[in-house]
Amino acid sequence: MAKHRLEQISRGTKVAKGAVVTGAIAMGSIAAGQAMASPVAVPNLGNIELGALGDHINSQKHHAAPKTKTLKVTKTNGEAKSKDATKPAPPAPAQVRVPNVGTFALPGISQNQVPNEFQPKGKAAPAPERHTVADKAVLNAESKIGSPYSYGSAGPNAFDCSGLVYWSYKNAGKTIPRDSYGQMSGGKAVAYKDAKPGDVLIFNGGSHSGIYVGNGEFVHSQNYGTPVNRAKVKTWALTAVRRY
């Protein structure tokens, strides 16, 4: 009787594996039954063919493989000294959710390398960090929302329009012209339809400037009595867009 039960359990496991292998479970825009090319080691199930998802996971593992350092030994005054050859720590196993099957930890890739449709419920891939000068300028300008307007001021506590733009870029590591007319003359001309966050917007013929933050909005220091704020581009007379 015990032998018969063991065979039933073994047969059940094989059926579960076969369901995944043959594509019985649909995974959003990627089906498990697509090309059997990249088997993925799924804990408690074994090597499973996951079609396009398997291709993606294995390619990410390849790119995520940490580089090893070669141990170098040099001699100084007759004594051997070795350079640090510590290997970087591998990323924590990524959690991959296969609809109708479960969530599994897959080592070798990071969480942000997992497509959103396979992220665990309630957990999306983290947004990429902002590193460019323009992105930092946007963050700087947004950090001053609520600060008072003061003519001739360029921070850190109060700003006029061009002063906010100047301060935001200076603290992002780039020096641009201080006044709005100089800002209109510098950088590279860009059509508004091609504007990106961080581009400098010039209004009212050159007398006003702000920083574009995306989605048709910009951050600017407007006038006395109105603190630094976010506004819609279409409500202002746009003159030029400059990219620095």
Residues involved in catalysis:
161, 208, 220
d(CA 5, CA 100): 26
Long-range own/partner contacts, residues 220-226 (CB < 8 A, 24 or more apart): 220/161, 220/164, 221/144, 221/147, 221/149, 221/159, 221/160, 221/161, 221/163, 221/164, 222/149, 222/161, 223/149, 224/149, 224/150, 224/151, 225/149, 226/149
Q: How many CA atoms lie within 13 A of 189 on its CB side?
A: 3
Are residues 190 and 115 in contact, defined by beta-carbon separation less than 8 angstroms?
no
Q: What does the block give as tokens for 215?
A: 């989605």
Specify the length of the chain in residues.
Answer: 244
Greatest C-alpha distance within the chain: 91
Encoding tokens for residue 21? 């292998």
Question: Is there a contact between 138 and 174 (Cβ–Cβ < 8 Å)?
Answer: no
Distance of CA 164 to the CA centre of its chain: 26
Q: CA-to-CA distance for 212 and 228, rounded, in angstroms? A: 14
